[in-house]
Amino acid sequence: MSNHTTTIKKQCSSNSPADVDAVFSVNAISNQGADDTTTRVAVFSSTVRAGFPSPAEDYIEGMLDLNEHLISHPAATFIVRVAGDSMVGAGIYPNDLLVVDRSIRPAPGRIVIAMVAGGLTVKRLEIKNKRWRLVAANPDYPPIEISPIADGVEPEDCTIWGVVSSTIRKF
């Protein structure tokens, strides 16, 4: 199986509601005789205490493929890099990678990637007074009010690109 990746970048302007420096990876996968390049990582069965230490255990529970763990629907998934601090209260920080699944239905309470006023933004989707709102997880940012809801149809001034399913962060 060979894996060819095409990357498209979009930098949103600072005067838009965007806080996402989008990096879209589109994988074209074919079975043309190349070796499988899946990388698996060991998963220990013991937990790591965040308080007092516990005796170490030398038992490996199994192998973990991060692709399988983080990506439920590969054909409908893309990754974006975060720029900005509007979602720090939700544990999303600048330079985090967000795994975005387009197959998950946007619903109130979910964190979404949305195109608003020509720019991408990551916010929590809410409905208030029959209006869609994109709400930051940082009090320094006001909610972005979207068109009224019309029979469940997505508002014209906002396009939901997908639902954030995971965050990847390097220390």
Q: Which amino acid is at 23?
A: V
Contact 99, 167 (CB under 8 A): yes
Q: Which residue out of 2, 9, 10, 86 is catalytically annotated?
A: 86
CB atoms within 10 A of CB 120: 22
16, 123, 128, 130: the catalytic one is: 123
Pairing mode of beta strands 119-128, 131-135: antiparallel
Q: Which residues does residue 171 pair with via DSSP β-bridges, in sequence order? A: none
- Residue 166 falls in the annotated catalytic set: no
Around Cβ 63, how many Cβ atoms within 10 Å? 11
Is 86 part of the annotated catalytic residue set?
A: yes
CB–CB of 124/90 below 8 Å? yes
Nearest in space to 70 (alpha carbons), one of 39, 43, 47, 101:
101
Q: Among all residues, which ones are annotated catalytic?
A: 86, 123
